Chains A and B, each alone.
Chain A
Amino acid sequence: MATVQHVVHDTQGAYEPSLFGTYSKKIGMWLFLASDTLTFGALLVAYSYGRVSNPAWPTPFNRDSIINATIMTACLLSSSLTMVLAVMAGNRNDKAWVRNWLLATMFFGAAFTVLHAMEWTKLIVVEKMTPSSNVWSSVPLFGGTFFTLTGMHMLHVTIGIIYLGVIALRKKFLPVLLVLWALGFFLTPADSVFHLGIHVLLIGAVVSAIVLFLKPKDYDANDVEVAGLYWHFVDLVWMFIFPLVYLMSTKV
Chain B
Amino acid sequence: MHDVSAHTDGKMTYFWVWGALLLLTAVEVVLAYKQILQPVRMLQVLLVLSVIKAGLITMYFMHLKAELPRMRWLLTISVTACFFLMWVFFFRDADRILTLGVK
Contacts and interface: CB of A to CB of B under 8 A. Distances in A.
Interface in B35-86: 35, 39-40, 42-43, 46-47, 49-50, 53-54, 57-58, 60-63, 67-68, 70-71, 75, 78-79, 82-83, 86
B50 A240 contact: yes
Interface in A4-25: 13, 17-23
A63 to B, nearest CB: 9
**Helix, strand, loop or mixed for chain B's interface?**
helix
Contacts of B97: 53-54
A236 B22 CA distance: 13
Interface residues of A, number: 53
Contact of A48 (B60, B79, B90): B90
B33 to A, nearest CB: 6
Given A48-B43, A52-B40, A248-B39, A80 B57 contact: yes
Among B32, B49, B71, B95, residue most surrounded by chain A Cβ atoms (within 10 Å): B32
A63 B74 CA distance: 42
A130 interface: no
Nearest to B14: A84
B21 to A, nearest CB: 5
A244 B46 contact: yes
A22 B89 CA distance: 37
Contact of B43 (A54, A236, A244): A244
A239 B35 CA distance: 19
A188 B31 CA distance: 37
A250 B32 contact: yes
Nearest to B96: A53
A42 interface: yes
A55 B57 CA distance: 33
A20 B90 contact: no
B86 A45 contact: yes
A252 B21 contact: no
B57 A21 contact: no
A81 B15 contact: yes
Contacts of A88: 8, 11
Nearest to B35: A252
A250 B67 contact: no
28 contacts: A18-B1, A21-B4, A21-B68, A21-B71, A22-B5, A22-B68, A23-B1, A30-B75, A34-B75, A41-B86, A52-B39, A53-B94, A53-B97, A55-B98, A66-B33, A77-B22, A84-B14, A232-B58, A232-B62, A235-B61, A236-B53, A239-B57, A243-B28, A244-B50, A247-B32, A248-B32, A250-B33, A250-B35
Interface of A: 13, 17-23, 27, 30, 34, 37-38, 41-42, 45, 48-49, 51-55, 66, 70, 73-74, 77-78, 80-81, 83-85, 88, 91, 225, 228-229, 232-233, 235-236, 239-240, 242-244, 246-248, 250, 252
